[in-house]
Structure 1
């Protein structure tokens, strides 16, 4: 029982730490790369949470971050806060963060069950590959939401290409300028996550243990009640 409480306490601590990491990532000033590509750390923190924590703990960390932001803490991008952010043009990206956390967390747990994370030579590459799933997960919600709230079309119409400076659409505004930076952050998050799993190989397994412990505890109480 003490071990079960320890695992639950570890999960709560990890959720709080990664929620704080996501919040802190928005405080770092935006970096502009060569070519004018903007780079922020928020996506990095979201991806890292999914790759390290697994599905339910990553979702809990992102949800806690969102709740704090909706409650008024200025921890969204550019110091924004409140429910107005959710109803604004970028609100879909916040929902996409939750979807990405679940997708990445479930995929990382599958890698752990397959023993891939224990293989030093391929763990980082596998986690980077999984991290790439965050891009469609976030964009598939964020881009249509952006189009809906701004009145833009999702894809450019009547343009010579996506990079045409005269094109204005949800994709050219909400995806193209950030895509290179997002790819860089996925690679960095995969490398960091591989290092963390190498140092703490039981992280994803402990989440399953907490669920199993809860089920065992429920069964023990039921058995005691009927005895």
Structure 2
């Protein structure tokens, strides 16, 4: 039986080339294509593929492919979502893994590596392209520390996540995007964090957070 794949990308020419590359292998068949968030979910649910190759931007600001990945993980958990995108930043990488992606490839990855990734994801494995794989463990380790109730126990789990990202040097708008919150909500979290930690500045809170083990993957 061939590995059935759905392609999700808002560029028709890219989908055409990717389909040709995949179907040049006798064990892979492209059973559907989509160009947006709703189409990605509906096509995957209708065709029940083994793998969905998912872009993140899908023609709009923000990572709508993350939401599609999250919905598929909830509604079709047997489908392996494999991200194939131009984005290399940590925000999108961590968000994709948290949403349930089985792998993360950057566009420009060679044909053989893409074929290998599709086969690995279909078999239940996880695969990340060179340059991405070493960062996954570090990012998840930092996220795990942020969720540990023994770290700054006066804070809620969400407040520790916000503080962890702030300690990595991320501004409020990036924290909001990564956690799926509004900037106003992030600002409110920061205000409560300063109050609970009894500090007067963000810089002081960040320094104490790093002392406690947060922000290990600092951007700055």
How high is the TM-score relative to the length of structure 2? 0.29
Give the structure with the higher percent helix. Answer: 1
Which structure shows the higher strand fraction?
2
